Amino acid sequence: MPLAVVAVLAVVAIVASPATPGRGRAVAFAGGVCGLGCAAAWAVGQIRSTSPAGRVTAPLAATSLRLAPALVALAWLQTGGRALADAGAGEFLVVFYLAALAADVIRMIIRGRAGARRRGGTDAN
């Protein structure tokens, strides 16, 4: 779901943003970085563990893998990627990351409620 959100936002950004030099490359860069993070987070999230430590570690690793590429890309844009930064890649990167994060949070809420219904109760928050 987060990867689909990033893809839709990338298409919307290409279609709706003003035609400035490098805008397409900036959107592609930001979408690629966020897409890579989402795919890595999804892959780690598929690991199922029965131990309490594993149930804590997998979501933390998934969050780290979603965040790390975006942070590294932002650092690179600040230090060396001036052409992409001038085209707005940093702004697209932040928007795409936050949208992917929101989609993942919504997905986890829906999945948690569905699991509670299957168990015959509600989860205490």
The 10s digit of each residue's pLDDT in 16-56 is 877 778 888 888 999 999 999 989 988 888 887 788 888 88
Of 113, 118, 102, nearest in space to 1 by CA: 102
Is 100:34 a contact under the CB 8 Å cutoff?
yes
Number of other CB atoms surrounding residue 40 within 10 Å: 17
Rounded to 10 degrees, what is the CA torsion of 105, 109, 115, 117? Answer: -170
Q: Which pLDDT tens digit goes with each residue over 3-26?
A: 888 888 888 887 787 777 888 888
pTM (2 decimals)?
0.77
Is 13:78 a contact under the CB 8 Å cutoff?
no
